[in-house]
């Protein structure tokens, strides 16, 4: 496999993983359903999202340190597994406190561990002149997740209910993101990125 082919595969895998980790942006749909269907207060329904964003931010820092020591693959696999398992576990709880733990802490930590690894590892495979582009593409996956996850989540809730929707999305993350995470690694120490053609 050529250098550019390997680099592009890492980039595509990172983009697709972020499309899964962007599950955080589907919370607005769950929030509405928890209020209207489960009778939660607005504060109770929004708390898991707030907890997840805080946990996400903290784990970004931790994951950054760990991947410098261990490489991205194991940290990324841990992140995607936690994200999926946190979603599945959320399908088994029905109290605000427990959802703060399953989604807010477990899923939030998974997103943080996963997100922190993608851009640094992908950029190492590309020439320095392309690093801004690479970082933008990886980050775009996370942002674009909101475009498809919100309607998908809404359709799942309408047809299956809140708890089953959590489980289905969690299984989807495990099935898609974890295998992709296993393909992410840093280049060898003697690797020299291919020179850009333009």
The CATH number given to whatever domain includes residue 123 is: 1.20.1250.20
At 1 the pLDDT is 65
- Which DSSP state fits 100? I
Find, among 59, 4, 20, the residue nearest to 187 by Cα: 4
Is residue 103 a part of any domain in this protein? yes
Contact 24, 153 (CB under 8 A): no
Structural domain range at position 129: 14-181
Is residue 65 a part of any domain in this protein? yes
Task: Mention every residue, 6+ apart, whose C-beta is less than 8 A from residue 42.
Answer: 35
pTM for this model (two decimals) = 0.93
The number of folded domains in the chain is 1
What digits encode the pLDDT tens for the residues 50-74? 999 999 999 999 999 999 899 999 9
Report the distance separating Cα 6 and Cα 88, nearest Å. Answer: 33
At 3 the pLDDT is 73
CA distances from 3 to 122, 142, 175 (A): 12, 25, 27
Is residue 190 a part of any domain in this protein? no
Using 50 as the pLDDT threshold, list the residues of the chain that sit under it: none
At 189 the pLDDT is 85
């Amino acid at each position: 496999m050529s250098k550019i082919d390997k680099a592009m595969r890492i980039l595509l895998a990172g983009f697709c993983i972020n499309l899964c980790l962007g599950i955080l942006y589907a919370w607005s749909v769950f929030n509405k359903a928890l209020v209207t269907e489960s009778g939660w207060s607005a504060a109770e329904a929004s708390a898991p999202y707030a907890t997840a964003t805080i946990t996400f931010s903290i784990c970004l820092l931790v994951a950054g340190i760990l991947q410098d020591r261990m490489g991205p693959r194991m940290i990324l696999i841990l992140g995607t597994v936690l994200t999926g398992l946190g979603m599945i576990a959320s399908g088994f709880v029905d109290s605000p406190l427990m959802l703060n733990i399953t989604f807010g802490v477990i899923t939030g930590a998974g997103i943080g561990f996963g997100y922190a690894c993608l851009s640094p590892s992908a950029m190492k495979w590309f020439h320095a002149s392309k690093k801004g582009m690479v970082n933008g593409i990886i980050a775009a996956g996370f942002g674009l997740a909101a475009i498809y996850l919100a309607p998908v989540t809404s359709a799942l809730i309408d047809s299956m209910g809140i708890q089953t929707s959590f489980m289905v999305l969690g299984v989807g993350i495990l099935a898609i993101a974890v295998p992709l995470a296993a393909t992410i690694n840093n280049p060898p120490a003697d690797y020299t990125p291919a020179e850009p053609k333009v």
